[in-house]
Amino acid sequence: MSLQTLFFSSLGVVFMSSALGANILAVFSCAFPSHLIVEISMAKVLAENGHNVTVITTLKPHVSHKNINLIYIPLTKEEQLSQDASIASMVERDNSNMVSALFRMRDQVSFAFKKNRNVMKDRRVIDLYENKDNQFDLVMIGYFLNDFQIGIAQKLKVPVVIATSMFQWEVFESMLGSVQAKPASFFSERLGNLIISNALRLFTYAIKLDNAKAYKELYGNDPSMPAYADLNKNVSLVLFNSYSFSEGPIRSSVPAVIEVGGIQIKDKPDPLPLKIANFLSDAKDGAILLCLGSNVKGAHLQPSTVKKMFNVLAKLKQKVIWKWEDLNKIPGKSENILFSEWVPQNDILAHPKIRLFINHAGRGGITESQFHGKPMLSLPVFGDQPANADKMVKDGFGLSMSLLTLEEQPFHDKIKEVLENPKYTQKVKAFSKLFRDRPLTARQSVLYWTEYVLRHHGAPHLQSPLVHMGFIAANNLDVYAFLTCISIFILSSCQFIVKLVYRKMTGNAHIRKLKIL
């Protein structure tokens, strides 16, 4: 190694270590477990690599670390009850239609929104920026339609990184500069995509009105704070829970999009609890994992649906691990079924004996199944679940049916089909290979890009100029208008000149004739 490279590489080390041991504040107050799981997995990577991470949550996180300081602001009793009730009511209705599901989601959205706002009024949170002893270098915001929380980064005057369990869609446009509508070759598809894209922009606009109000309420009395409209222009980058290289859609994207899909999945699975390990070890025909997520508790299901599911599963050759909260009230007894209050879903999916994952089409579960190459039968209930299930089926990784209209025969037939037709397993195994093949793992990406933002003081150079441009400039409307004027001027000048020349050459009589023609 030459002296020069030695010098520069040691300089590199200095740059790297200037980012080490940063104080990071993470606001992960969204009261949905599926969001927290993804977001806190990102914080954990930072904690494990020497950063001091203060995390604000409203739910008990499933991970802990000595470098994670928790500010836990739990749901009140009433909040807990109202959330349970709204989930139960959604389970009772048919939400197979995406638009009506979104519409019904509004109770959930407004519940999460109110809690997010109340969290920012908590004394412990206000103290983070009012008490000058607190020093932070970076703020992470767990994003679920809560732009106003970015205000805390402005209070602390530090860069902000967005962490989200969602994928790229129009709501992120104001942070990224642009989100391209999914390209498609067929006219009807393009038309549909464009309509959906603009409907989502409209939805975003409505969300922003609420956010502006909350922002004013929380920070409006501080003249040093930026206008709400400028808040999102300070976002350095967005960590998305997706990986479009393998999942699609392939579209043009900006550097501030960092995709870390699968971040919640451990590099190496942990050993299974003894009971589950023993149960699986003598499953000579393979095994099925049935887990309907953390939001839909067994008790929300119709007893008749549970009975139907039990009848089908009890007759299978395969063993079944069924996540069930209340072990005093199990749906029935059968040799081949193990009810378990708590299941380490990811570790079980990694087990070679698992041949099918029956889930509720939450993004987390589908991603884990895809990561481990396990085919699925999805029973979507509400929110984004029907759409997730549709995509999974379209990708060829399994089948789907509504949980609300479940009948024994089709449930049985679909299980058989996914177990016995090898095409689903082949497809998902091929996907798994693609999904894991990346230049940086999901965990490395979180670490690298967060430290990049720290090293480069928010890395504003990474931003698309579109972030700071208005609608007219961003869409070149002024340029089109200018070019149209010029074209009209040139065309009418040409016409005038042609007429003039023609008249000179042929005389007036002809022109009159031409006009009549």
Ligand X SMILES: *[C@@H]1O[C@H](CO)[C@@H](O)[C@H](O)[C@H]1NC(C)=O
Which one of the spans 210-218, 306-314, 315-323, 456-464 is the region binding ligand X (CB under 6 A)? 456-464
In the complex, minimum distance from the CB of residue 168 to ligand X, in angstroms, rounded to a whole number: 18
In the complex, minimum distance from the CB of residue 15 to ligand X, in angstroms, rounded to a whole number: 17
* Cα–Cα–Cα angle for 361, 365, 368, rounded to 5 degrees: 140
Could you tell me which residues come within 8 angstroms of residue 470 by beta carbon, excluding any fewer than 6 positions away? Answer: none
Query: Which residues inside 67-86 make contact with ligand X, applying CB under 6 A?
Result: 69
Which one of the spans 217-225, 357-365, 458-466, 477-485 is the region binding ligand X (CB under 6 A)? 458-466
**Smaller CB distance to ligand X: residue 128 or 447?**
128
**Smaller CB distance to ligand X: residue 10 or 134?**
134
Binding residue for ligand X, selected from 134, 281, 426, 493, defined by CB under 6 A? 134
**Smaller CB distance to ligand X: residue 150 or 260?**
150
458 touching ligand X, by CB under 6 A: yes
Q: Order of strands, edge to edge, in the sheet holding 138-142?
A: 68-72, 52-57, 23-28, 138-142, 160-163, 235-240, 257-259
**Smaller CB distance to ligand X: residue 277 or 469?**
469
**Phi (first) and psi of residue 411, to 5 degrees:** -60, -45
Binding residue for ligand X, selected from 93, 457, 468, 499, defined by CB under 6 A? 457
List, in sequence order, the alpha helices (H) in 157-234: 173-176, 187-219, 228-231
For tokens 């041991």, name the residue.
21
Could you tell me which residues come within 8 angstroms of residue 419 by beta carbon, excluding any fewer than 6 positions away? Answer: 286, 318, 355, 356
Query: Which residues inside 167-186 make contact with ligand X, applying CB under 6 A?
Result: none
Closest CA to 142 of 126, 110, 165: 165
In the complex, minimum distance from the CB of residue 73 to ligand X, in angstroms, rounded to a whole number: 15
Query: Which residues inside 145-164 make contact with ligand X, applying CB under 6 A?
Result: 157-159
**Smaller CB distance to ligand X: residue 196 or 462?**
462
Map residue 23 onto helix, strand or coil: strand
Query: Which residues inside 10-29 make contact with ligand X, applying CB under 6 A?
Result: 23
- Sketch the per residue contact string, 289 through 328, with ligand X: x for CB under 6 A, - otherwise: ----------------------------------------
**Smaller CB distance to ligand X: residue 56 or 101?**
56
Query: Which residues inside 461-480 make contact with ligand X, applying CB under 6 A?
Result: 463
Closest CA to 340 of 289, 282, 409: 289
**Smaller CB distance to ligand X: residue 223 or 271?**
223
Binding residue for ligand X, selected from 41, 49, 54, 242, defined by CB under 6 A? 54
Where are any strands of DSSP class E within 22-84? 23-28, 52-57, 68-72
Q: To which H or E segment does residue 315 belong? A: none
Q: To which H or E segment does residue 9 belong? A: helix 3-19
Binding residue for ligand X, selected from 34, 149, 211, 236, defined by CB under 6 A? 236
Other C-beta atoms lying within 10 Å of the C-beta of residue 467: 20
In the complex, minimum distance from the CB of residue 223 to ligand X, in angstroms, rounded to a whole number: 16
Could you tell me which residues come within 8 angstroms of residue 115 by beta carbon, excluding any fewer than 6 positions away? Answer: 29, 30, 31, 58, 75, 79
* # binding residues, ligand X (CB under 6 A): 14
Q: What does the alpha-carbon distance between residue 260 and residue 195 come to, in Å, rounded to a whole number?
A: 28
In the complex, minimum distance from the CB of residue 348 to ligand X, in angstroms, rounded to a whole number: 35
**Smaller CB distance to ligand X: residue 139 or 280?**
139
Binding residue for ligand X, selected from 57, 149, 232, 234, defined by CB under 6 A? 234
**Smaller CB distance to ligand X: residue 159 or 398?**
159
**Smaller CB distance to ligand X: residue 157 or 394?**
157
Could you tell me which residues come within 8 angstroms of residue 103 by beta carbon, excluding any fewer than 6 positions away? Answer: none
Whole-angstrom Cα Rg for the chain: 28
Which one of the spans 294-302, 422-430, 442-450, 454-462 is the region binding ligand X (CB under 6 A)? 454-462
List, in sequence order, the alpha helices (H) in 121-159: 123-130, 151-156
Residue 361 · residue 341 · CB < 8 Å: no
Q: What does the alpha-carbon distance between residue 245 and residue 491 come to, in Å, rounded to a whole number?
A: 47
In the complex, minimum distance from the CB of residue 135 to ligand X, in angstroms, rounded to a whole number: 7
**Smaller CB distance to ligand X: residue 52 or 334?**
52
Binding residue for ligand X, selected from 88, 460, 466, 474, defined by CB under 6 A? 460
Other C-beta atoms lying within 10 Å of the C-beta of residue 505: 8
**Smaller CB distance to ligand X: residue 131 or 409?**
131
Chain residue whose CB lies nearest ligand X: 458
Q: How many CA atoms lie within 13 A of 465 on its CB side?
A: 3
Residue ranges that bind ligand X, judged by CB under 6 A? 23, 52, 54, 69, 134, 157-159, 234, 236, 457-458, 460, 463
